[in-house]
């Protein structure tokens, strides 16, 4: 009987699953490609190749599970951060800061690689819905602040976050880029800085 590395079998299986998803994320970020193999994932996770198939039937299933897991995790982080704001302006500021914190952890890079992957339409649709879930706190704060066309404004704010992310990835200091992005967004929306 195989040895388990946790107090219960359920916890053991959850740890193994988490190790596989972490391995997929690491490989995608290291290589810049979604062309992962079960062997590479197993090796990175420190598991036998056959063990991977106990959890996921293919590399594409591994990739899809990783993206869903990370998007859910990121959405919870952003929601928790934004919920601390008392005013719409504070919530918008916190959204920008939380998004740039995630970008510093590699979220944007993983997203860019996954966007160019050959995903089935149902996966692309699910990812689009998860992205809407992640940006919902921003849109709600924009609606509450009575900004004209909150959906358009949200797209513009996301564009500023993406531009700041690229600058940070190119070597600009994260702190100064974050402050500049927050100030730019709040001024553009005519909200108090």
Note the pLDDT tens digit of each residue in 34-78. Answer: 778 899 999 999 888 988 998 888 887 888 888 888 888 888 999
Backbone φ and ψ for 177, nearest 5 degrees, come out as -65, -40
141 — pLDDT class (breaks 50, 70, 90): very high
Tens of pLDDT along 175-188? Answer: 999 999 999 999 99
Q: Is 39 inside any structural domain?
A: yes
CATH number at residue 28: 1.10.10.60
Say how far apart CA 93 and CA 174 lie, in whole Å: 15
The residue range of the domain holding 143 is 68-188
Note whether residue 46 is domain-resident.
yes
The total number of structural domains that make up the chain: 2
In a domain, 193, yes or no: no
Structural domain includes residue 62:
no
Residue 20 lies in a domain: yes
Q: Do 21 and 115 sit in the same domain of this protein?
A: no
pTM comes to 0.78
């Amino acid at each position: 009987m195989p040895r388990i590395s946790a107090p219960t079998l359920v916890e053991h299986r959850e740890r193994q699953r988490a190790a596989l998803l972490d391995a997929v994320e690491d490989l995608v970020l290291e290589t810049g490609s979604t062309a992962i193999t079960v062997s590479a994932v197993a090796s990175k996770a420190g598991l036998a190749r056959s063990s991977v198939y106990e959890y996921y039937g293919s590399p594409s299933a591994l990739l899809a599970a990783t993206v869903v897991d990370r998007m859910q995790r990121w959405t919870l982080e952003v929601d928790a951060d934004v919920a601390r704001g008392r005013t719409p302006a504070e919530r918008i500021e916190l959204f920008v800061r939380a998004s740039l914190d995630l970008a510093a952890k590699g979220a944007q890079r993983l997203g860019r690689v996954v966007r160019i992957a050959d995903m089935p339409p149902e996966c692309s649709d699910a990812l689009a819905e998860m992205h809407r879930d992640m940006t919902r706190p921003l849109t709600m704060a924009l609606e509450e602040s009575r900004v004209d066309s909150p959906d358009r404004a949200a797209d513009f704010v996301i564009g500023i976050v993406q531009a700041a992310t690229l600058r940070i990835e190119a070597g600009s200091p994260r702190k100064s880029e974050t402050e500049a992005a927050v100030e730019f967004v709040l001024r553009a929306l005519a909200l108090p800085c």
